[in-house]
């Protein structure tokens, strides 16, 4: 049986923690679709196209991974694409509370299953918003995002 999973998120921008999950998912599943949520009424640090381009550049070596965007409900997107499994990274108990609730809702509303991938310990403290805060304050974020993402962030935020 061939298993396709979706890794959904805002990815504004993608971090080393997200990329670790994508890489590990691509090693375990037949096909991985990274789906970037596009919210027309909410403008982030990067546009959805920019976020997709950054992820594409960092995942170019993964032949079974594609980057896409979606709007509306994740269950509708997955049904359209014929994907039945969501793969989400979990950094700790705070994430798990929130992710479990979403997983249960997605299963109830659209029959989607969710698998949780434990974040690598060295990435467990990373979040896009904290990295942006540190960068804005002049702190060092080396290794928390790929170099290309750091350059883009510095260009946008400082
Ligand atoms: O990176 P994030 O912000 O934690 O990602 C959250 C995301 C995009 C996975 C979640 O908000 C989502 O799936 N949004 C799409 C709308 C939806 O389906 N909402 C119901 C979730 S149960």
Look up the domain containing 109 and give its range: 4-157
The structure tokens listed for 114 are 């969710």
Cα 71 to middle of ligand 1, angstroms: 10
What pLDDT score does 51 carry? 97
Average pLDDT over residues 66-71: 98
Q: Using DSSP, how many helices (H) and how many strands (E) does the chain show? A: 6, 5
Query: Does residue 61 have an active-site annotation?
Result: no
Residue 55 confidence class, pLDDT cut points 50, 70, 90: very high
Percentage, residues of the chain above pLDDT 90 = 96
What pLDDT score does 135 carry? 96
Average pLDDT over residues 105-130: 98
What pLDDT score does 125 carry? 97
Nearest to 126 by CA among 134, 136, 114: 134
Give the active site residue among 51, 91, 123, 132: 91
Using the predicted structure, report yes or no on whether residue 119 has a pLDDT greater than 80: yes
Nearest to 149 by CA among 34, 49, 57, 39: 57
Number of domains in the chain: 1
What pLDDT score does 39 carry? 81
Using the predicted structure, report yes or no on whether residue 147 has a pLDDT greater than 80: yes
Cα 152 to middle of ligand 1, angstroms: 24
pTM, full prediction: 0.97
Q: At 20, is the secondary structure helix, strand, or coil?
A: helix
CATH of the domain at 123: 3.40.50.620
Which ligand 1 atom sits nearest the alpha carbon of residue 35? 8
């Amino acid at each position: 049986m061939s298993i396709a999973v979706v890794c959904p998120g805002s990815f504004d921008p993608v971090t080393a923690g997200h990329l670790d999950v994508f890489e590990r998912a691509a090693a375990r599943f037949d096909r991985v679709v990274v789906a970037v949520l596009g919210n027309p009424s909410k403008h982030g640090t990067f546009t959805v196209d920019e976020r997709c381009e950054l992820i594409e550049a960092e995942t170019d070596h993964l032949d079974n991974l594609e980057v896409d965007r979606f709007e509306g409900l994740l269950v509708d997107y997955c049904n359209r694409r014929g994907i039945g499994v969501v793969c989400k990274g979990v950094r700790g108990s705070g994430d798990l509370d929130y992710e479990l609730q979403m997983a249960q809702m997605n299963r109830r509303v659209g029959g989607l299953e969710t698998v949780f991938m434990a974040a690598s310990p060295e990435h467990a403290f990373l979040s896009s918003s904290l990295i942006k805060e540190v960068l804005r304050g002049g702190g060092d974020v080396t290794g928390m995002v790929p170099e290309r993402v750091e350059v883009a962030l510095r260009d946008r935020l400082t």
